[in-house]
Chain A
Amino acid sequence: MSDGLPPRVPKADAAGKSPLLEVRHLKKYFPIYKGVLRKLVNQVRAVDDVSLFVREGETLGLVGESGCGKTTVSRCILRAIDPTSGEILFREADDKVTNLAALDRSELRRFRPQMQMIFQDPFGSLNPRMTIFEIVSEPLYVNGMRSKTEREDHVAELLRLVGLRTEYMARYPHAFSGGQRQRIGIARALALNPRLVVADEPVSALDVSVQAQVLNLMLDLQQKLNLTYLFVAHDLSVVKHISDRVCVMYVGKLVEMATTEELFQAPRHPYTAALMMAVPRPDPSSRDIIQDLPGEVASPANPPSGCYFHPRCQFATEVCRTQTPELREITPDHFVSCHRAEELHLAGIKVNQETQI
């Protein structure tokens, strides 16, 4: 491990236990209607055949440009929006695997406590008309904890856990800074002892100094409470810092999934390599010319044929134009959806040895 990340999940463990969450061929199409008769004219393929898995106790980063469907994936997993098709397999504590995509709203309520979400916007995610106590204790109340003193004790414990003073309980969200609000959001997400926490860009709305605090808090809580994170972000440095494995999305499709180290050092998909190129390097002596990708991001309403990335890919061949590549495992734990993954040797980012302790 050259970047100093302790291996929280041994890779070999995958064979032993099935992943906590497995998503298979997830699709979410948003219809476009036109005219008085609301005729279906097209569909936006926000999520187009995404398969991924999250092992218990690990952090899976999900990165991609704005509009690539990463938030849609995370919301589909939580069934905040209903997927068009695909399977969302969730393993409960007793190893029973359930397909969440097939459940209706009332059946889902049993699973809600096990999967919680941390939101991007620390302002919009807390109801300004409720006190901190009301916000954090609501999940407890609706899940059957009716005694107020019991809830107060629980909320106090949660606030301590996320590093807030318990006297803050009576306050309203307007009395808090962005970082503090995000801690409140984390406390609410943890109220029900979830096993999977989906974090949708939890730090991108925060100041850089506060980002580090919140990320470290999340890592800390992961170790204490054995949490599993699905961490959605667009900031590669944040993802690299917190993730064990990383998925890269492009126009609704998953292009690559590998361990953080491998993905950053030896990307196998040309798009991942391009993303790595775009990371700014704090090296004033560097005279590298950054090569921009030609063209524009494809429209998910009108994606190109074959591989969605082929119009912008310098390695594209005939097969890329006609056939859609499947996501396949080319080396253990390294999944790529590229026809030429084996032949290409792409430059990643050498992880600086100095960062090691």
Chain B
Amino acid sequence: MDSIEPKILQPEGAAPLEKADPAIYPPDEAVAAPAEIFEEPLVTTQEEERISIASNWTLVWWRFRKNVLAVVSTVILLFLAIVVLIPDFFATMDPEETNARLAFIPVQRIHWLDEGQLKPWVPSVVGKRDPVTLAMKWTTDETQKTYIRFFGTSWSYSVLGVFDSNIHLVSAAKVDQADDDLAAQIFLLGTDRLGRDQWSRLAFATQISMTIGMISVIVSVVLGLLLGGISGYFGGWIDNIIQRLIELLQSLPTIPIWLALTAALPRTWSPEKVFFAITIILALRGWTTLGREVRGRFLSLREEDFVLAAELGGASQARIIVKHMIPTFTSHIIATSTLAIPVMIVTETSLSFLGLGMRPPAISWGVMLQEAQNIQTLALAPWLLFPGLIVIVAVLAFNLVGDGLRDAADPYSH
């Protein structure tokens, strides 16, 4: 009386069953014939063709570049990266040169036009001592022009240890009528308490602070990949130990621990030693977040069908990890790491600001901000806060790029 009518017997078009049957049980000659192309190509236009052969990284880039803020931030970071690589190129003078007579010179405003021509110059500063308070008072003398020279030559420095150069982005063009050394110098961001040029110091501080952020993130990534990978891939008791270690590290209050560790660094250590010690201290906790993430990825990827398919195909464990698992989460790791860099930068800046991170004569953003610790300085020399602005810009840029990368990291989520 009843029949199950397999719905699969009727492909689209609802052909009567009698007609559908020969298609399902094809006669022998049909079987022997070469397989027909069943489906029309999905791809028709050139644009679609381009998408269909786009690799994962291409898709990530296409999505990333739609994010205007992230692209702008990338440009800012690239600029900062150049500063990190060759700070001497940007510096106008030796960042450590002190001159008590030139303390607290305010920011010199750049005038781009000189008598209708594009010829940037800064007005010279003239210092006068207040006869009552004996404090130096700086005024600008608009008639005394110090012209700015681009790509002029000055002291020689090494570019990445590969070759030497003596070209600098900006420098003061010596003017004939100069009778004192002030006219031959420019202080684009003013000077600090010891008369050191802030502009030049900022270039070197950028190098130190950004490098600390990056190196500690690289150390974190290595630790996180290694321990998180072991934890997620092997599981069992080793996973248990690593996870409890991560919980322990994450439960420690960070500020006191950092303070204790950095305070324990011997005062006699050279700036280089302190630098590496601080990167390690920052990375010691920094890897935990990443370790968790990598472990989670491994755990979920172990269950993926394409990983099982590779295993059934005879691929070795090493090949599965290298060819299938790691490429799947690389973009996520990059995004997470990018978001971790600003945290490191802010931490280093805070520690140095408190006098527990980098110490003079090393220059970092935090060390520079130490100069701006009291209200008197802030009232009289607000330009000393400028490194704080750079910190904000750098941290924002890293965060925006990181967010953009995170959103673009998985092009298959949509």
Q: Are B55 and A119 in contact (CB under 8 A)?
A: no
- Whether A219 is near chain B, meaning CB under 8 Å from some CB there, is yes
Counting residue pairs across A and B whose Cβ atoms lie within 8 Å, the total is 181
- Whether B21 is near chain A, meaning CB under 8 Å from some CB there, is yes
Q: Are A172 and B8 in contact (CB under 8 A)?
A: no
- B5: min CB distance to chain A, Å: 5
Query: Given the interface contacts A216-B23, A357-B21, does A188 sit within 8 Å of B309 by beta carbon?
Result: yes
Q: Are B313 and A220 in contact (CB under 8 A)?
A: no
- Whether B253 is near chain A, meaning CB under 8 Å from some CB there, is no
Within 313-366 of B, Cβ neighbours of A (below 8 Å) are at 313-316, 319, 323-324, 327-328
> A192 vs B310: C-alpha distance in the bound complex, in angstroms?
12
Within 203-223 of A, Cβ neighbours of B (below 8 Å) are at 203, 208-209, 211-213, 215-217, 219-220, 223
Of chain A, the residue at the smallest CB distance from B3 is A352
- Whether B131 is near chain A, meaning CB under 8 Å from some CB there, is no
Q: Are A188 and B35 in contact (CB under 8 A)?
A: no
- Whether A314 is near chain B, meaning CB under 8 Å from some CB there, is no
- Whether B266 is near chain A, meaning CB under 8 Å from some CB there, is no
- Whether A156 is near chain B, meaning CB under 8 Å from some CB there, is no
> A78 vs B314: C-alpha distance in the bound complex, in angstroms?
12
**B306 touches which one: A127, A177, A281 (CB < 8 A)?**
A127
- Whether B180 is near chain A, meaning CB under 8 Å from some CB there, is no
Of chain A, the residue at the smallest CB distance from B31 is A223
- Whether A345 is near chain B, meaning CB under 8 Å from some CB there, is no
Of chain B, the residue at the smallest CB distance from A352 is B3
> A132 vs B41: C-alpha distance in the bound complex, in angstroms?
15
> A177 vs B48: C-alpha distance in the bound complex, in angstroms?
14
Q: Are B24 and A241 in contact (CB under 8 A)?
A: yes
> A283 vs B5: C-alpha distance in the bound complex, in angstroms?
10
Q: Which residues of B contact A11 (CB under 8 A)?
A: none
Q: Which residues of B contact A264 (CB under 8 A)?
A: 4
- B2: min CB distance to chain A, Å: 4
Q: Are A281 and B3 in contact (CB under 8 A)?
A: yes
Q: Are B21 and A355 in contact (CB under 8 A)?
A: yes
Q: Are A192 and B56 in contact (CB under 8 A)?
A: no
> A56 vs B137: C-alpha distance in the bound complex, in angstroms?
100
Query: Given the interface contacts A112-B314, A142-B316, does A175 sit within 8 Å of B52 by beta carbon?
Result: yes
- Whether B9 is near chain A, meaning CB under 8 Å from some CB there, is yes
- B251: min CB distance to chain A, Å: 17
Query: Given the interface contacts A109-B314, A175-B42, A357-B21, does A128 sit within 8 Å of B412 by beta carbon?
Result: yes
Query: 0/1 per residue, A259-292, Cβ < 8 Å to B?
Result: 0000010000000000000011111001010000
- Whether A165 is near chain B, meaning CB under 8 Å from some CB there, is yes
- Whether B311 is near chain A, meaning CB under 8 Å from some CB there, is yes
Which has the most chain A C-beta neighbours within 10 Å: B23, B59, B306?
B306
Q: Are A220 and B26 in contact (CB under 8 A)?
A: yes
- B376: min CB distance to chain A, Å: 58
- Whether B36 is near chain A, meaning CB under 8 Å from some CB there, is yes
Query: Given the interface contacts A117-B309, A177-B42, A212-B24, does A351 sit within 8 Å of B35 by beta carbon?
Result: no
> A209 vs B39: C-alpha distance in the bound complex, in angstroms?
12
Interface of A with B (CB < 8 Å)?
A: 4-6, 78, 80, 109, 112-113, 115-117, 119-121, 124-129, 131, 138-139, 142-143, 160-165, 168, 170-172, 174-177, 179-180, 183, 185, 188, 191-192, 203, 208-209, 211-213, 215-217, 219-220, 223-224, 236-238, 240-241, 264, 279-283, 286, 288, 349-352, 354-355, 357
